[in-house]
A and B are shown apart, each in its own frame.
Chain A
Amino acid sequence: MAVGDYLIRRNASDDTTEVTTSVTDLSWDTEAKVIGTGITYSSGEFTLVAAGVYLVIWNEYLEETSKTSDSSSREEIQGELQLDTGGGFNTITEGMCQGYIRRDSGQFQIVIKGTGIIRTSGANHKIKTIAYRTDDSTGEVLRTSGHGGVQIIRIDETDNFGRYASTAGQELTADTATDVVLGTSIEQDSPFTRTSNAIDISTTGRYLVSYSCDVSMTFNNRTEVQFWLELGGTRVPGSSHSVYLRSTDSTQDGAVSHLTLVDVGTANDDLVWRVARVEGGTVTTVASGACIQIWQLPSGNKTAIMEATGGTLYTNPFEWDTLPHIDTDTFTATAGNSNIDTDSAVSTYLVLASGARTTYGGCARCTPHYRVGGGALGVIPYGQDGSYFRGSGTAGFGGGGAACIIPDMPSGSIEMQNALLGTVSDSDTICQTGQLAVLDLGSLYTYVYPPVITDVEDELLGAAEADVLLDGLGFEATQGTGKLELSDNSVYATGTKVTQSIDSWSDDEIQFDVTIGALDEGALWLWVTTDGAELSNGYKVNVGLAPHDPAMALGADHWWTFDNVWTDSVAGSGWGAVTRGTPDFLARTISRTTTYAGRMNDGDDGTETPQSSYMNLGTHASRNVGGWVEVDSYQLLPAAIYEEGGGVNNLYFILGSGNILLCNAADSNNNWKAQTFSDTPLIPNRPYHILFDMQGTGGHGTIRMYIDGVIQASYTGSITSATMSSHSGDISIGKPGSSLDTGGTDISYKSVDTVYYSNWGSWSNTGGGAPLTATEIRDDLFRDGAIAKYAISSGTESAMQTAIEAYDDSTHVDWPLTYDIKGKTGGGDIELTLTDQVFPDEVSLQVRYQGDADLTIRNSGTSNLVASKVWAQTGGTVTIIETAQITVTVRDLSTGSVIQGARVYIEADAGGPLTEGDEILNTTTNASGIVTGEIDYTSAQPIVARVRSASGTPYYKTSPFVGSIGANGFDLTAYMLGD
């Protein structure tokens, strides 16, 4: 047991526990990280082994699942910590929280989050988490797996603390800020001195502050109570947290917990906990026991604090305006950016991320989703919070914040990656105060880290690449029984692993040769196991071929792989917010790096994703939306594939008239309607990449469409405004959520039946990704994502030639891509010949070369490979050699009859690409008196030739002839004179 011990447990699998009006003990099924023995867990209870001080952070993500009834209902979920000091569990104010669900806003989810600094007086005190509801709505609220967690860290009890609480209920009056009245000093070390409600802090430095309280009100009205801290009379950025109450459906009970890092720059400044009630309940009360805890971070602490004075609360990532404090020996950051970067090779961090308004405004219902994340971290699932607010009735402050411990983090970026719960956003949701604060816990406590892989020299490794350097620390000085493995899973125990060949091994660097074995190319994970059997983090690398994942590189606002998940991999959430019929997935690959596709298997199938300010809720000068689709039949009734909006403003794809694809853009506010159409029908059972390109008058001012990366010719109507208006309503795939304006008539479309979806994205100019360039659409979205009809695997050149010859003398089928051709085994240039392989015009890409050397392909006979439909994906080059056909017919000069068996000899003359004297053809005529041959053609090749027949009667004299082989070949009839 030691200070710095910590425990993180998560809810990894519980999707079924319902939170009702009865108190529910929450259990946490999965241990995410445990350091030391100071905190243990069993059956929902955390044991604080030694008496001391503990920082507790907990949260849970809850979802109202009965979405089809009582659409206006409100739900209010209370969360609490209970402490058992030996006589049973009792609720404590620390860690109290509340979440509010308002279904009229399409908000079905909420995150509750509690914090507190607790001092225990004896050994083996226990903590548990509970939740219950105080509303009387009929909706069902369930826990959601994969999000929530409990984090407890033991703090050195000899550090300096100030802990205070109110001793009586405090009634709030309308719209007037006031102090939270502190009636008792529970603990007060130097440098703290409380005078009434003001806490004097005598020493500069950083202080971690947690406050919690219980709030209730009467009288039915929209009510918001916001709490914050003031230091020296000035609001502390990032210290604000609000709670929303409304007695309709008995939602009149609230609670808040908030954790913030305060930088005390002036000695003896007073810290005051403030509160204001906005509109609402006539009697609003902060319950007795409201508490605030302050921890003076001990000497040597390393922190960075960024603050906000602007921005929109639900942006991802959120960008910070100022950098008031940073320990530059540990962190780097730049004002105006979103991130604080950690410099240590590996350490453990406490991260706080929050935002709020400081003046209330007329915002729509809005539920920002505060999330800690960044870089390689993604979103930390247990580092989330959510807070509902509504400007109508002037309850428009808002405010919330996430907090979490990040263990074993290699150097990297930390951000606040906010999102939105529900469908309502508002550009007025301005962040006027916020904070991203990072405390390096490694600067306070000594942690022993497992080996950590921090870098691999190439992002893309060859499947047999040699001498690859892997950097990190803690590998130990010698390999001994240590090993480096390549795995196909991000979870070590789950993956199939291949041991790598080690060239050299040191504590911070390993050189190895890649061995892919039976693993498939693509995203794989490297794992180091030390001689002492310590296992490293899994480090993701791309081997052989990078997966098709262009979302980040192209700045997508939203990206849905549909690979057996509806999730939006950029913004979280995803399809499934509303479901019509039974949309599902099918094991079917229609774009690269996926094994499943989303499916609408009935005209009534459809699903919606949360509305987005980057899609239908914002005004945009340019938008792109598209992805891979495949249909299984001709659509006899016009039917929908994708839509945003409805009967006034909209953007959508529909299919009809023999599978012509139509993209419609309508903006009745700006009085324009435009359509674009595919040049050809979408053939059933053939994947296509479709994408629309909407640009206002600052761009091309039309709606255009790309299919397989090719812009379609036909469009009508102009976009006559600089931006397209917002078009709230819904965003659907399959059957739309509402009727769609189609040239002035509203049509209630069904879904295309059947249609498959894979790797779709959405871009906007406000998100920075739109308009995509034609090259990005063609190369990054279509060419990189296409699946090949045939794969020519790595092998010897002759083996690869044999493989591709299997398709000689054939006409290829209509498919997005005919061939994937890998690099030659062992690397190096390769030359392949296609003989009489005819690619129809409909094939969008004929060859995708996945080697890094030169590939030369010869078009022999009628083969018609063209350079415009060949793409080198991984750094190699592709050269096409055209051939010219040679035909010589030999006839008797006197009779004109054909001569069989005459020898025709042709060699290169000077003046062409071949060396003079090179033999081009040397063979005898067939029964038709004909010899044929072929030459690689780059430019005209002069020839000298002769024909003779002296081996059998009748004999003929030798006849010489000359000529030139052109692009169309060489065709000559030679007449021979009898000898």
Chain B
Amino acid sequence: MAYSDDISDLGADHHWKFDGDSTDVIGSANGTDTSIGHTGSAIAKDATVCATTNATGDRVSIPTTTTINNSAQARKAVAGWFSFSAVNQPFTRIYGEGDNTTNFQFCAGFGNVVTLEVRDGATWQIQVYTDRPLVVDRPYHLCAVLEGNAYGNEVRFYLDGVEQANAIPVDREPDDASLALRGVAEFGDPAGTVGLDGTALLMVAPVNGNYNHWCAWGDEADAVLTETEVRGTLFERGALADVTISTGTESAMQTALDVYADTVRSDTPCCIEIEAVSGGGDFTLDLDNITFNEKASIHVRYNGTADTLTLRNINGSDCSIVSAPFGGSLELRTEVTVKVTAKDAESGADVTGARVLLEADTGGDLAAGTNIISTATDGLGEASVTFDYSSDQPVTGRVRKGSSSTFYQTGTLGGLINSGGYDVTALMVKDE
């Protein structure tokens, strides 16, 4: 299903795809462009171009609309994709309704830190700030949700589907029924007086600011977007990926993925997307020594609509943020070492040839009794295997040496395999 359909399914009242024009593809609040470009590369899925404000006076004017600005709203949401192509030195307004006294606006400054301000005259005001400046040429999904005190009594601001907590007041509660009606919505340069904290402040259009898939919800139940809808649908399903592993055989896809072995993936909305395997079915791929930027919002996304992709971090890969928003499943595992070292309890000497049996206990992903190690210790007294870790796995086991002298009594093993693996020394007592 196309991303536009996702937005429609969430009940949006207005949707400006900005895919060549400023038309409202759901409602009728078509935008009027003032020097807007429509030739830049798309910054989200389901679009071929984006809208661009490439001068401080550029704007898209939205006609006054009940479900956007021209009514008091107890519930409301606005979301969309946006990117800067530079650190903007002047204060900019990405999107806004109203003026400096009553408004609902995304503003930016101070090195591309975005401020969501929702203000109702002198009655109440909430500012929420992104926890980081927006990186140049990196698309972000912005989403703001308002609920008056008859509902959730909260203003929420999501960046790439992650709720932002830096806010004044900290509780982000309007403690009021609704946001009063306000001036028309505009993308980019405000035509009238705007400001922050009730005071006029000159703001201009982002240069360059890029827009795709902005949408708005009026005062209705659909406006109360859930975290899953914001993150799982609006962000994860719309994010463009830096790398695409296209459908193929499992081995072909592994080969394609291995091209990125030993690389560092940058700060992007989605580093790698993996399509379904040819013919369907579950499949497994290894990430071989791939380092992911901690600020990237999705490390790997599985685009399959069914089946399970098992993804293994091997050789130091550190994928930790995964997504499967289109119906399939993704299981992330990390290769760890499980090792048992057998030593003589009296002398401390390594015991070679001791039989180690380690199996899953109850309480983990594996079925109790699943064999993990069943082998004899080597010349260093060690028995080890690699293990695909996904969550802590209780284990039980024993170690003995009864097949050749020196003989040792059976010892017990226990504990957990955790993200660091399992490394236990068994002190063995000679069997007299």
Contact = CB atoms under 8 A, between A and B. Distances in A.
Q: Which of A634, A746, A963 is the most central at the interface, judged by chain B CB atoms within 10 Å of its CB?
A: A634
Interface of B: 56, 86-91, 109-111, 113, 115, 125, 127, 129, 133, 166, 168, 195-199, 201-202, 204, 343, 345-348, 409, 411-412, 414-415, 424-427, 429
B113 A658 contact: yes
B412 A975 contact: yes
B198 to A, nearest CB: 8
The 7 closest A-B pairs by CB, nearest first: A743-B89, A743-B90, A677-B111, A658-B129, A636-B197, A962-B348, A716-B87
A745 B111 contact: no
A961 B348 CA distance: 5
B90 A636 contact: no
Contacts of B110: 638, 656-657, 660, 662, 677
A637 B89 contact: no
Contacts of A87: none
Contacts of B88: 743
A957 B168 CA distance: 65
Contact of A714 (B111, B204, B427): B111
Contacts of A747: 91, 201-202
Contacts of A660: 110-111, 113
Contact of A716 (B111, B166, B202, B426): B111
Given A660-B110, A675-B87, A716-B89, A975 B133 contact: no
Contact of A657 (B113, B343, B411): B113
A714 B411 contact: no
Nearest to A892: B412
B201 A637 contact: yes
B54 to A, nearest CB: 14
Contact of A960 (B115, B196, B197, B346): B346
Contact of B429 (A658, A681, A893): A893
Nearest to A893: B411
B426 A637 contact: no
Contact of A638 (B86, B91, B133, B166): B91
A934 B89 CA distance: 53
Given A638-B110, A660-B113, A746-B202, 15 more contacts: A636-B168, A636-B196, A637-B196, A638-B91, A658-B168, A662-B111, A675-B89, A716-B87, A716-B89, A716-B111, A745-B56, A747-B91, A747-B201, A893-B429, A963-B425
Contacts of A359: none
Contacts of A917: none
Contacts of A702: none
B127 A977 contact: no
Interface string A709-752: 00000101100000000000000000000000011111100100
Nearest to B168: A634
Contact of A975 (B87, B199, B345): B345
Nearest to A714: B111
Contact of B199 (A714, A745, A750, A891): A750
A630 to B, nearest CB: 18
B208 to A, nearest CB: 14
Contacts of A32: none
A664 B345 contact: no
7 contacts: A636-B168, A657-B109, A664-B89, A675-B89, A742-B89, A961-B343, A962-B348
A636 B425 contact: no
A71 interface: no
Contacts of B201: 637-638, 747
Given A657-B109, A893-B429, A975 B347 contact: no
A657 B201 CA distance: 13
A952 interface: no
Contacts of A746: 202
B204 A975 contact: no
Contacts of A377: none
Contact of A961 (B113, B199, B427): B427
Contacts of A972: 425
A895 B195 CA distance: 72
B56 A975 contact: no
Given A657-B110, A660-B110, A975 B426 contact: yes
A974 interface: yes
Interface in A636-694: 636-638, 656-658, 660, 662, 664, 673, 675, 677, 681
Given A636-B168, A893-B411, A657 B89 contact: no
A745 B202 contact: yes
Nearest to B345: A959
A745 B55 CA distance: 13
A746 to B, nearest CB: 8
A974 B429 CA distance: 11
A715 to B, nearest CB: 8
Contacts of A657: 109-110, 113, 115, 129
A742 B429 contact: no
A972 to B, nearest CB: 6
A789 to B, nearest CB: 24
B111 A742 contact: no
A977 B89 CA distance: 73
A973 interface: yes
Nearest to B343: A961
B127 A636 contact: yes
Q: Which of A657, A714, A717, A744 is the most central at the interface, judged by chain B CB atoms within 10 Å of its CB?
A: A657
Contacts of A960: 345-348
A637 B115 contact: no
A960 B429 CA distance: 10
A896 interface: yes
B409 A893 contact: yes
Interface string A930-941: 000000000000
Interface string A947-979: 000000000010111110000000011110100
A944 B348 CA distance: 9
Contact of A658 (B56, B127, B202): B127
A724 to B, nearest CB: 16
A658 B166 contact: yes
Q: Which of A660, A681, A714, A743 is the most central at the interface, judged by chain B CB atoms within 10 Å of its CB?
A: A743
Nearest to A633: B168
A962 B111 CA distance: 56
A957 B429 CA distance: 10
A675 B414 contact: no
B113 A744 contact: no
Contacts of B87: 675, 714, 716-717
A745 B411 contact: no
Contact of A745 (B91, B196, B424): B91
A638 B92 CA distance: 12
Contacts of B56: 744-745
B182 to A, nearest CB: 18
A634 B127 CA distance: 10
B419 to A, nearest CB: 15
A660 B108 CA distance: 12
B166 A656 contact: no
B173 to A, nearest CB: 16
A959 B427 contact: yes
B427 to A, nearest CB: 5
A717 B89 contact: yes
Nearest to B198: A637
B40 to A, nearest CB: 21
Given A747-B201, A896-B414, A975-B411, A742 B90 contact: yes
Given A745-B202, A960-B346, A893 B412 contact: yes
A977 B429 contact: yes
Contacts of A962: 343, 348
Nearest to A742: B90
Q: Which of B111, B168, B198, B348 is the most central at the interface, judged by chain A CB atoms within 10 Å of its CB?
A: B111
Contacts of B345: 959-961, 975, 977
A681 B343 CA distance: 54
Contacts of A664: 89
B190 to A, nearest CB: 12
Nearest to B414: A896
B105 to A, nearest CB: 13
